[in-house]
Structure 1
Amino acid sequence: MDQESLSKLKTALHFVWNSGDYETVARTLEPGAAAFFDRLAVGPGDRILDVACGTGQIALPAARAGAKVTGLDLSENNIEKANALVHAGGLEVKLDAGDVEDMPYKDETFDLTVSLIGAMFAPRPERAAAEMLRVTRPGGRLVMGNWADGGFIASFFAALAKYAPMPDIPSPLLWGDEATVRDRFAKGVASLALSRHPYRIEYGTPVPETVEHYFNDFGPSMVAVADLDPDDREDLREDLEALFTRHNIGTAEAVVIEAELLDVVAVRA
């Protein structure tokens, strides 16, 4: 990809992730995020970088656990909302707007570099992986929680792609494929452990309102449907309502989805 094409792509991705209300989305993701955080085993004094931190689902509990936390996100809107939550909680977290593919941190700065369903959306996965390893100290951990291939989330994005073409980049869901992850971390790591875990998403709304939430609050789906004609928009709505209905393990009035996460734990060489 030439520099001009990359610049246009970055501008488009910045617009996508700066759209919507990710804080609202994050609330539905809290049960699974809490379970993922517990698996990190964060300790007091740990120097942690939360990459693509959103509104702070990992950064905030890490700070409460006594870690020294930095958060990075492409969206200035997310950083602003995360800062408000940090201040409301009386916490100390350094939050920066920036790109995982070109991070403003020195080599070997962090004991733990972590990204929960965030860095997987970077357009150049090998570059993102190299940057996350670069800022992690030797013997430190790089941990990613990525949507697993073939699960509910893959079906959700496939439904969107049926009506609105996705950017011409490697599929983010390849980060949920074990063979691909092993290839991407074939160098620079002392060990690599992969494991799959359920990820509980609680919406607290019926199926129609749950789908409307994605149309109104989640940047990628908001942008995907913005230019659809009314018929395609209604067809997509019906497809998504059918998908959520099939996978709902909650009640008719409060949808609950159990997605699947691939945990990636790389120890830097």
Structure 2
Amino acid sequence: MPQTDYQPDRLTAGSYLTDPAHYDAAHADVVSDLPFWLRMAGGAAPSAGQGARILELACGTGRVALHLAKAGFAVSGVDLSSAFIEAARRKAAAQALDARFAVGDMRDPSLADTLLEGQRFDRVFIAFNSLGLMLNAADLNAAVAAAAACLAPGGELVIDTYPPDMVRDAPMAVAHPAIFPTGKPGVVWRWAYAHPETGLPVAVDHRHRFDAATRLLRHAFIIHHGVPAAPIPAHLTVRLHSDAELQAAFDAAGLQVTQRMGDHRGGPMRPGSRHNIWVARREPKRA
């Protein structure tokens, strides 16, 4: 059974975490990572360039995958949410893009051979901190192993996930100021986005709490759609995987880590980096 508490088709309706239209509206300005994924799509695997086959796991409504499809890449996407996958399919069809989407669990060991019909890919991407939805080491290992099984020989897995020091290693610790501007644990951080139908502000009150023993970061939200709508409660738990856990997952999956980055410009990983980017290669079998 899934260990993640992200069960997108069971959570409260109307939450921007589960409603595709609200999700897209809430993330409309999240574009700074798109040039990075475009560069990574055209990397050094055997079929580099626009002939490369790209798979995005935990693709959501297709924010990254559809951007790559617009650039001419053949793209596939998998997500746990049927609502998000339907939204991605509608957007791809409306724009006549070469992008295929399927509902699936990125921990599924048979993902490549069943849901993806035996396809192998030159790049597999796990973007936007989605690996944090794996709430323990076993699920982390399963997700990396399933991603590795989807790679063609010489292909690359690229993961952009939470830095392990994003929240300091103490209970109720001060959050990384670049991520949570309040810098105070458990204090409401309010942000807003435009309602996808009315254009009026939807306010989101956000609290978080970090458990150093489990490395779980628990988010609680109250979403205000405005009068007369009642506030909507929502929650999401993610895990800050350690470097050792990530390295062990790559090793167990038979992948060779070739690059670490701390930002989308290719800068080095260092304490306080806002991103934790890993690139790992599936080496071709030797004759």
TM over 0.5: yes
Alignment gaps of 5+ in structure 1: 1-5, 200-258
Distance 1:154 1:140 in 2: 35
Hey, what does 2:213 align to over in structure 1? none
Please state how far the C-alpha of 1:140 moved relative to its aligned partner.
Answer: 0.4
Residue deviations 1:212-252 (CA, integer Å, cap 9, x gap)? xxxxxxxxxxxxxxxxxxxxxxxxxxxxxxxxxxxxxxxxx
Root-mean-square deviation (Å): 3.4
Alignment gaps of 5+ in structure 2: 12-16, 44-48, 167-175, 187-206, 211-216, 220-236, 266-272
Distance 1:153 1:74 in 2: 26
Distance 1:183 1:87 in 2: 40
Residue deviations 1:41-63 (CA, integer Å, cap 9, x gap)? 26212111111111212211221
1:162 equivalent in alignment to 2:163: no
Q: Quick check: which one's strand share is greater?
A: 2
Hey, what does 1:130 align to over in structure 2? 145
Hey, what does 1:15 align to over in structure 2? 10
Summarize the Cα distance change of 1:15–1:33 in structure 2 as closer, same or farther, 3 Å threshold: farther
- Give the alignment of 1:138-149 within 5 angstroms: 138-149=153-164
Aligned to 2:81, which of 69, 75, 79?
75
Summarize the Cα distance change of 1:8–1:132 in structure 2 as closer, same or farther, 3 Å threshold: closer
Alignment-mate amino acid for residue 162 of structure 1: R
Aligned to 1:49, which of 55, 79, 85?
55
TM-score by length of 2: 0.60
Deviates more, 1:30-39 or 1:115-124: 30-39
What is the DSSP-based 3-state SS (H/G/I as helix, E as strand, rest coil) of the residue aligned with 2:97?
Answer: coil
Relative contact order, higher structure (CA 8 A, sep 6+): 1
What percent of counterpart residues are identical?
A: 23
Q: Quick check: which one's helix share is greater?
A: 1
What is the DSSP-based 3-state SS (H/G/I as helix, E as strand, rest coil) of the residue aligned with 1:131?
Answer: helix
Aligned to 2:280, which of 241, 266, 269?
266
What is the DSSP-based 3-state SS (H/G/I as helix, E as strand, rest coil) of the residue aligned with 2:29?
Answer: helix
Summarize the Cα distance change of 1:142–1:181 in structure 2 as closer, same or farther, 3 Å threshold: same
Q: Are the counterparts in 1 of residues 52 and 74 from structure 2 also a CA contact under 8 Å?
A: yes
Q: Are the counterparts in 2 of residues 196 and 260 from structure 1 also a CA contact under 8 Å?
A: yes
Q: Are the counterparts in 1 of residues 257 and 278 from structure 2 also a CA contact under 8 Å?
A: no
- Give the alignment of 1:65-214 within 5 angstroms: 65-102=71-108, 103=111, 104-105=115-116, 109-117=120-128, 118-123=130-135, 124-149=139-164, 150=166, 151=176, 152-153=178-179, 159=186, 160-162=207-209, 166=218, 171-174=238-241, 177-187=242-252, 188-197=254-263
- Aligned pairs, number: 202
Distance 2:83 2:70 in 1: 23
